[in-house]
Amino acid sequence: MGISEVKLITEALITLESSENKRFSLLISPNFNALLQGMFDPTTLSYEVSITWDNQAIANFTQQLIADFPSLADHFTTFSPSQSSENTAMQALFMARLVNILTPDCWEDSEDIYTNSPVCKPIEDALRQQIAQERLLNQVIGQIRQSLDLSTILETAVRELRSFLQVDRLVIYEFGDKNLLNLDDTNLNKSFGRVTYESRLSESIPSLLNIKPQDDCFTNLPDYHKKYQQGSIVAIEDVEIAYSSSFCLIQFLNTYLIKAKLIAPIVVEGTLWGLLIAHQCFKVRKWLENEKNFLGKIGEHLAIAIYQAQLYAQVQQQKKTFEQRVIERTQELRDTLLASQAANYSKTEFLGNMSHELRTPLTCVIGLSGTLLHWSGENRSFSLEKQRQYLQTIQDSGKHLLDMINEILEFSKLQAGKCVLVIQEFSLPYIAQNVLQQVIKEAQRRLIKLELDIQINPEEDRFLADPERVKQILYHLLNNALKFTPEEGTVILRLWREGNEAIFQVEDTGIGIIKEKIPLLFESFQQLETSRRRTYGGTGLGLALTKQLVELHGGTIEVESVFREGSIFTVRLPNQPQRLLKSSNPSETEQSFNNRNRSIILIESNEEIATLIGELLIAANYQFIWLTEGGSAIQRIDVLEPSIVILDQDLTDAYKISENIKKTAETKSIKTLLLSDQISSKEWTKISQRGIDDYLLKPIQPNLLLKRINALMALDNDINYDII
């Protein structure tokens, strides 16, 4: 600001005195606007002076001024906002020059000595205080603009503000659950926060950091949260008078030496974040209007700083979350890659082991059958005992091959979700004893003691599940226990009921399992012994298949093992929901079975399969008729009226044959058995609705074929299988 600008100030300065003892000076120029106001206090014979550069405040003032004093309209033109009034440096310079302009008589030019005038001194003091206020406000604003460290901003603001207001203590009280402060209920009269920042004049003043006043102390201050929410500034000159009705609050204030206080709210985006509180600790104090306004301005700017810090914290949190997600996703991809590599390695190892496992029985079958063929071509024969021995070895090797192939196929169906449960009622002890008979020869051969411990009451004997699948579960567990138990060891099968569950437990005194390898037991293509020269044979899918069958029933399987001492496998199977099961009198069923026609028609184009099935049925005392084509078979079925028709056809032909059988009264009682490579549970539901009574998956197992045939012979037309 140059000399010409100072002259402009002098020329444009309008000073009036109103009837309310108010003096004001209004400065209006093209580049700078300011309003200086003073209120005379007759009791102290002093002025309370304030100055503002706010354009809107000046505009409102000039409009009211013209309305009250029309003669002043010629002294200035219509007010227009000034851009330069936002320049804090110019404001500070203006304040310094204004002191000299308004108090020229307060200085002696010759000696430059300040004259202690009763009029000049309060004006100068007020203006210098205004300069200090603006400087502190600019400092706070500058720090907010330059830093996002909220803690540093608040600490500096508290320290500088306490020093400027010359109070004994200045604190920031931060509310905790700020969401409750916006509710219109009883929570509004409760305290939720604590003092988080503090500046004290000396150590003799007690600290309020982290102090939480009792909620009941504020019940006598109605709606004080609402007042602060609306931006009200509260000035208490004497707490003893202001809070005389609250003994609790007076006691609290006296404890911490609070005689007077000035409170300004910190409202962040419409939410009461906290309070800016100045304390006078040793005497009461009359708070000036400019002190109230100044504390309010500081509170507003701190609210801006807090909001900026919150936004910055949100951005940082989002950045951190995003980085964490990137790390997690990268780790997931890495884990997936490692799992895929491990799975590929396991499958390669599995195929290598299987080639070894399959080669051994195939060698026996091919070698011994070739030997028999060779000697039969030489017109020389072995002894009957030798031939029986060779044939028995071929038979055992073939069964072993079939078991392994069936195990792999069964596991494949389970993995593909194509396994179907046929729920039936059966005897739990009978199942356990039946499975034990299947493995007893192996136990005797290896001198292993095999025990059965049944702890079931007669009334708990019956159970609903898939009996064939339950047998598979027990067979795999017992076979696994026998395989890894040395000679003269012990394997125990326990069976008991707990409410709606049947519990099967297989305990052995075998080699046990290392704790780290237990999680791999039920994994697909995982074998704890991976060497080609393995001590224990098999596919390694037995336990994985067992787990799948158990879970298909909705059950669980657990294992406990101590290395070199033995293992305990525990299976829990829930009783399955009862479907449309129809019980019949055994004597009636037997009579119906004996009276029924025992002829069976097979529609099969493959001669080898037809020969195998025919020999099985004839050996089981059934009348067997083989038809090669389904088209011409319908008329012959009408004539022959067999008990069962076995269909090895595609679904279209099978549906056609079954529907023709079921549509006439003479043939509708004929049962149909479908042979198929694979059937899922959903497919079977649709197939059964088209008149097919049962199915059998290929390759055909003779014992299962006979069981299905016997079951169909014994069942009435109204009995259905429950499919899960």
Task: Give per-residue pLDDT as tens, 609-626.
Answer: 888 888 888 878 888 888
Q: What is the pLDDT of residue 362?
A: 84
Which of 174-183, 349-358, 577-586, 626-635 has the largest mean confidence? 626-635
| DSSP per position, 101-149 | HH-GGGEETTTTEE---TTHHHHHHHHHHHHHHHHHHHHHHHHHHH---
Q: What is the pLDDT of residue 591?
A: 42
Q: Which residues contact 197 (CB under 8 A, 6 or more apart)?
A: 154, 155, 158, 171, 172
Mean pLDDT is lowest, of 54-68, 241-255, 362-376, for 54-68
Compute φ and ψ for 41, nearest 5 degrees: -105, 105
> In this model, does residue 392 exceed pLDDT 90?
no
Q: What is the pLDDT of residue 406?
A: 74
Mean pLDDT is lowest, of 28-32, 99-103, 223-227, 582-586, for 582-586
Q: Would you call the peptide bond into 699 cis, given omega within 30 degrees of 0 as the criterion?
A: yes
As given in the structure block, the two tokens for residue 77 are: 């033109």
For 303-349, the pLDDT digits (tens) are 888 888 888 888 888 888 888 888 988 888 888 887 777 667 667 66
Q: How far apart are CA 150 and CA 426, in angstroms?
A: 74
Q: How confident is the model at residue 595 (pLDDT cuts 50, 70, 90)?
A: very low
Rg (CA), the chain: 50
What does the pLDDT average to over 479-494?
Answer: 91
473 close to 549: Cβ distance less than 8 angstroms? yes
Distances (CA, A) of 319 to 146, 149, 308, 325, 650: 22, 18, 16, 10, 60
Domain 148-315 falls under CATH 3.30.450.40: yes
Q: How far apart are CA 89 and CA 17, in angstroms?
A: 30
Mean pLDDT is lowest, of 279-283, 375-379, 419-423, 690-694, for 375-379
Segments of the chain assigned to CATH 3.30.450.40: 148-315
The pairing of strands 599-603 and 623-627 is: parallel
Segments of the chain assigned to CATH 3.30.565.10: 420-574
Q: How confident is the model at residue 181 (pLDDT cuts 50, 70, 90)?
A: very low
Which burial class, exposed, middle or buried, applies to 433 when counting CB atoms under 10 A from its CB (0-12, 13-18, 19+)? middle
Q: How confident is the model at residue 190 (pLDDT cuts 50, 70, 90)?
A: very low
| 581 or 450, higher pLDDT | 450
> In this model, does residue 51 exceed pLDDT 90?
no
Residue with tokens 């409202």: 267
What does the pLDDT average to over 518-528?
Answer: 65
Q: Give me the chain's average pLDDT, please.
A: 75
**586-723 fold:** Rossmann fold (3.40.50)
| Residue 214: Cβ within 10 Å count | 12
Q: How far apart are CA 52 and CA 115, in angstroms?
A: 27
Q: Which residues contact 550 (CB under 8 A, 6 or more apart)?
A: 473, 556, 557, 571, 573
Q: What is the pLDDT of residue 31?
A: 58
The CATH superfamily holding the domain 420-574 is: Histidine kinase-like ATPase, C-terminal domain (3.30.565.10)
Q: Among 681, 679, 619, 680, which Cα is nearest to 647's?
A: 679
For 684-702, the pLDDT digits (tens) are 888 888 888 888 888 888 8
Distances (CA, A) of 114 to 46, 111, 125, 307, 352: 18, 9, 13, 46, 108
Q: Which residues contact 163 (CB under 8 A, 6 or more apart)?
A: 199
Q: Which residues contact 200 (CB under 8 A, 6 or more apart)?
A: 162, 168, 169, 207
Q: Among 547, 690, 702, 697, which Cα is nearest to 611's?
A: 702
Segments of the chain assigned to CATH 3.40.50.2300: 586-723
Q: Which residues contact 650 (CB under 8 A, 6 or more apart)?
A: none
